[in-house]
Structure 1
Amino acid sequence: MEKVTIQLESLTCPSCIQKIESAVQKQQGVAKVNVLFHAGKVKTEINSKVTSANKLSEVIEKLGYTVENTKVQGV
């Protein structure tokens, strides 16, 4: 498992949280997801054999959000 933190440019409304959480949680290999509205971050735990931080960033960008950077930390 890996912990992934994705920094977003900005979140403009609380409904963004549900939209992002739902899309990320649907991806295979995602064990946990938490969107931090005020910090503009998405924190996840993933199985790196099934998905990747880059894949999750792409999913979020397809929703219309800008990803500033991504950090991956082994568990």
Structure 2
Amino acid sequence: MAHPYSQDLRLRTLYLITSGMSISKVSRTLDISKTTLYKWRHQLESIGSTLPMSSPPPPQPSQIKDLNKFQKFVDA
């Protein structure tokens, strides 16, 4: 998994956008996708922060709870 961009970079990038530089130009200049820049801008406007959002925990592997029932299913 990729590491999140630093908070400093996020803030400097949003400063460029709010200062009038287009998202397309910022994207090309800093090699950050436009989708990411729109997400950061929306996040700043909606919750007032650009800190990386926490990811949901990875799914846990399924466990067989009834081995006899599973064996009947496999044998069928």
- Structure having the higher helix fraction is 2
With CA pairs under 8 Å and 6+ residues apart, which has the higher RCO, 1 or 2? 1
- Structure having the higher strand fraction is 1
Q: Which is higher, the Rg of structure 1 or of structure 2?
A: 2
